[in-house]
Amino acid sequence: MRAIIFGAPGSGKGTYASRLQAKLGINVIVMGDMFRELMKQDTELGKKVKGYVEKGLLVPDDIVIETLKQRLSELPKDNGFIMDGFPRTIEQAKSLQALTSIDVILQLDVPDWIIIERLSSRRVCHNCGTIYNIRFLKPKVEGICDKCGGQLYQRPDDTPEVIAKRLQVYKEQTAPILQHFKEQDIPFVVSTATALETPPEIIVEKIMVELKNLKLI
Ligand code: ADP
Ligand code: ZN
């Protein structure tokens, strides 16, 4: 299965993709994590990327596409993937489809008020990237990852100003991709959030049922 998990920042892409990864053994390609790795390095590229991410802006398409190509070349061919955080522009979508075909879009439809609540209380493990929420998805021990014992931290772009910018960028530059994919008759699995605290397992179960119906898993 070659899937894109698609939604606004804070819509739960990473949370659901990691659970689908555990259940299906499928590779998940997380664009944001790749950039966070690059930003840790004291290189020209790392500094350049940081300039965009810290402001809530999109990294330029040429850098994004190059980073993705490199990652795809490391993956075993024909094993499938779920992409999280890519594509985010029409240009990126077209580049992706020149490289590979897409079987399904997993669309997460989440109202802004839920996004803002979730992102402002999100925490991430420094070590393994697992996502928590200090209000709705707490670790067993405060500040510590359940899975690996790593320290949890708040992403510097999860501040109110940067969250607002990321949502604006999503609406202007990323959401139009949905129409682009619809015109190509790619199947959609849509998950609409109506409450803050729906457990991720319930949403993941629903997605799995629809993927089975589509005979993709
Ligand atoms: P979220 O989905 O919560 O906004 P991500 O971890 O996916 O966060 O991305 C963090 C930041 O990395 C984005 O705000 C953006 O600056 C950059 N980024 C990630 N993916 C892309 C992409 N496909 N194109 C451009 N910039 C990207
Ligand atoms: Zn961890």
pTM, full prediction:
0.93
Residue 48 lies in a domain: no
- Between CA 217 and CA 2 the distance in angstroms is 11
- Between CA 191 and CA 185 the distance in angstroms is 18
- Report the nearest atom of ligand 1 relative to the CA of 84: 7
Instruction: Give the pLDDT score at 157.
Output: 93
Between the alpha carbon of residue 65 and those of residues 12, 80, 160, 192, the distances in Å are 23, 18, 28, 29
Q: From edge to edge, which strands make up the β-sheet containing 152-153?
A: 131-133, 122-125, 152-153
Evaluate if residue 78 carries a pLDDT over 90. no
Domain that holds residue 193: 2-26+80-113+174-213
| Positive/negative CA dihedral, 147, 152, 154, 155 | negative
Rounded-to-10 torsion of CA 196, 123, 85, 163: 70
Instruction: Give the pLDDT score at 79.
Output: 81
Interval 101-111 mean pLDDT = 96
> Which pLDDT band holds residue 116 (cuts at 50, 70, 90)?
very high
Share of the chain above pLDDT 90, in %: 93
User: Within the chain, what is the greatest distance between any pair of CA atoms?
Assistant: 47
- Between CA 67 and CA 24 the distance in angstroms is 25
Domains contained in the chain, number: 1
Ligand 1 site residues, Cβ closer than 6 angstroms: 9-10, 13, 31-32, 35, 52-53, 56-59, 64, 85-86, 88, 92, 157, 166
CB 94 within 8 A of CB 61: no
- Between CA 11 and CA 112 the distance in angstroms is 9
Residue 152 lies in a domain: no
Containing H/E element for 7?
Answer: strand 2-7
Of the residues 13, 19, 36, 118, only one is catalytic, namely 13
Instruction: Give the pLDDT score at 4.
Output: 98
Average pLDDT, the chain: 95
Buried b (16+ CB within 10 A) or exposed e, 1-39: bbbbbbbbbbbbbbbbbbbbbeebebbbbbbbebbbebb
Instruction: Give the pLDDT score at 197.
Output: 84
Residue 16 lies in a domain: yes
Interval 46-71 mean pLDDT = 96
CATH code of the domain in which 15 resides:
3.40.50.300
